[in-house]
Structure 1
Amino acid sequence: MARIVLDAGHGGHDPGAVANGLKEKDLTLAIVKHTGRLLGDYEGVEVHYTRTDDRYLSLEERAAIANKLKADLLISVHINAGGGTGFETYIYNGNVSAATVAYQNVIHAEIMKAIGNVKDRGKKRANYAVLRLTNMPALLTENLFIDNPSDAAKLKSEQFLLQVAHGHVQGIVKAFGLKKKANSTPSQPQQKASAGKLYRVQVGAFSDRKNAERLAEELKKKGYPAIIV
């Protein structure tokens, strides 16, 4: 059984980065909730959260939750700021296990596949508390830049946040060799009719058809029509 702790960065009186009408704490919580829900379709995985609502937790408290659970992996989800663009991941810049490096390699690659045409800023290391204080492999993801207008436009799309979550899920699935539940039948959300109108949504291009098919499947589960062309 793989025990995964999902950590939505910031929360409560700490909004994280704020720009373009967005707050980091809201985006990280949305991504984490999508990720946890999608992981529910797999066998052999136990999902825990550091927070599931808008509350403040110190960095030490977040690490302590994962340590108390004896988790196999902690993923801390964040949104970047500072004028750049793209996606990057971090592991601790001190002594880390071979598993930590392997998980970063696999999860980073799967997220990049899922989010399409986004700059890959690389796999990095840093002395972040949630990475330093955890007793298990820990990874921090920085999912685009909230203060970059182009990145922010993507982050305002619920479907793009689903792509980000999908990448996190596929990385965990690959890292731990998870299998889909045989009787997995996610409930279909009700779709609201809008005077017979149809809206076409393009969510990205993929070099690997299998990745496109996986995302199309997840979009259909949420009630979005998805056609691969």
Structure 2
Amino acid sequence: MKIYVDPGHGGSDPGAQGNGLSEKNITLDISQRIRSILINNYRNVNVRLSRDGDITKSLQQRTNEANAWGADYFLSIHCNAFNGNARGYEDFIHSNLSDSSQTARYRNVLHTEITKVNQLRNRGKKKANFHVLRESNMSAILTENGFIDNQSDAALMRNASWRQKVAQGHVNGLAKAFNLQLKEDHDGGNDSGQLFKVIAGSFKSKANAEQRVEELESKGISSFLDSLSLSGEIWFRVQAGAFSERDNAEEQLIRVRNAGIRDAYIISED
């Protein structure tokens, strides 16, 4: 089973923004968590992310890659924005598809499982002529996981445990829709939902953080900015990878430090 997970936006395209958050960072975090849960816990599942860092990638590149890889399912992760008042979760399949299509049946299962756990208002199942839904050769869904410009939804997005729940809801839907089989033992994996993130510096100045991202990029290490509030102040954190296993995070930390970033460290989030 090949699942292509597409974290929306990235690089020069931040996506929706609000309440100190950028869609491209939220979607990447959720997507990495989806991959970790699938790879650690299920048999015969291959997962490919359209991006594994803060890079710019066109919609055509994403669908071309999924098609060339021969993906069985295309899962595009997004967040919404409107007027600050709208809130909740909704998902989309292509507008040409009937409610009895296989894609719609898959979507029905994912919708049910995601809305069980995401703590968001259910805005329903919808259809649209989005590129990733139209140009993918396989069944595809696009999920909109809350409104980033709504204070209530954004407060959830800021919480790592909520992002883990959303990822788990997507995986629960995939497992049920495609009859994925759990591994008999998980000794080699991390079942706790922990994600080990390599932080290559934290800054009060966004410009300084962006300079660190450029420095890492010049040395072949992809990273992106994540903002967080500490004691009422906004800090900009440079993330250079997220891993389900501590050993892999340690290896990345060594690479970052060898690139001259001495203040890099690892954090774990449940």
TM superposition score category, shorter chain reference: 0.7 to 0.9
Q: Aligned with 1:141: secondary structure?
A: strand
* 1:123 matched residue in structure 2: 125
The TM-score with structure 1 as length reference comes to: 0.80
Residue 53 of structure 2 corresponds to residue 66 of structure 1: no
List per-residue Cα deviations over 1:68-89 (Å, max 9, x = no partner): 0111100000000003100000
Cα distance in 2 for partners of 1:138, 1:19 equals 27
What corresponds to 2:225 in structure 1? none
Higher-RCO chain (CA-CA 8 Å, sequence separation at least 6): 1
TM-fit CA distance, 1:190? 11
Matches within 5 A, 1:42-53: 42-53=42-53
TM-score, normalised relative to structure 2 = 0.68
- Structure whose alpha-carbon radius of gyration is higher: 2
Return the alpha-carbon distance in structure 2 between the equivalents of residues 123 and 45 of structure 1: 26
Partner of 2:111: 108
Q: What's the counterpart of residue 33 of structure 1?
A: 32
Deviations 1:95-120 (A, max 9, x none): 4682201111000110001213x210
Alpha-carbon distance in structure 2 between the residues aligned to 1:223 and 1:7: 22
Question: Could you tell me how far 1:44 is from its partner in structure 2?
Answer: 2.2
Distance 1:183 1:19, change over 3 A: same
Change (3 A) 1:183 1:16: same
Alpha-carbon offset, residue 223 of structure 1: 7.6
Q: For residues 145-200 of structure 1, what are the alpha-carbon distances to aligned partners after superposition, in whole Å with 9 as ceiling and x for unaligned?
A: 00000000000000000011000100000011011101213346699xxxxxxxxx
Q: Distance in 1 between matches of 2:176 and 2:13?
A: 33
| CA RMSD, Structure 1 to Structure 2 (Å) | 1.9
Query: Which of residues 142, 162, 168 in structure 1 aligns to 2:164?
Result: 162
Quick check: 2:109–2:173 contact (8 Å CA) kept in 1? yes
Say whether the 8 Å CA contact 2:160–2:269 is kept in structure 1. no
**Offset, 1:5:** 0.2
Report % sequence identity. 43
C-alpha distance in 2 between matches for 1:190 and 1:22: 20
